[in-house]
Amino acid sequence: MSELQAIQTKDACPVAGPYSQAVLTPHALYISGQLPALPSGELPSGSMGYKTSLCIANLKAILSAAGSDISRVVKTTVFLTDMKNFAEVNGEYEKHFGVNGAPKPARSCVAVHQLPKGVEVEIECVALPGGGGAGHSEEEIERRVAG
């Protein structure tokens, strides 16, 4: 595997600009901010809990495509357009991170004026490579990335 490998999966929402869904390095997986969108790119309506779950589902799909999983996430950044949604986002977030004995990742939560496509929440993360997901070997990751 080269030092840097772009990760792209059709199981997560498509990127909204000229960047990769994620970049895998020998020591870390950097996942771009995920919007509350379906893999088709559609932005469904719903509660902030539901929208947060869509962001996390996209993170999980990318983690899996890279051969990692949510238990390997070491840092997240949550972007909110309104801090009044903080509690509802946390309610959904805690269902996915730091469960089954995994440590809760470090986290920042930042209030921003706007987010792409007018969404109210976006989540990015950094994870350790390997340790889960569908692709463990270099060959499997390359097949999934090309896929």
Q: Which residues are catalytic?
A: 109
Determine how many CB atoms are found less than 10 A away from the CB of residue 147.
11
Determine how many CB atoms are found less than 10 A away from the CB of residue 139.
10
Q: Rounded to an integer, what distance in angstroms lies between the CA atom of residue 87 and that of residue 136?
A: 36
Q: Rounded to an integer, what distance in angstroms lies between the CA atom of residue 98 and that of residue 100?
A: 7
Q: Rounded to an integer, what distance in angstroms lies between the CA atom of residue 89 and that of residue 133?
A: 25
Please, what is the Cα angle at 106 between 24 and 129, to 5 degrees?
20
CA quadruple 38, 98, 78, 146: dihedral, nearest 10: -40
Q: Rounded to an integer, what distance in angstroms lies between the CA atom of residue 135 and that of residue 103?
A: 23
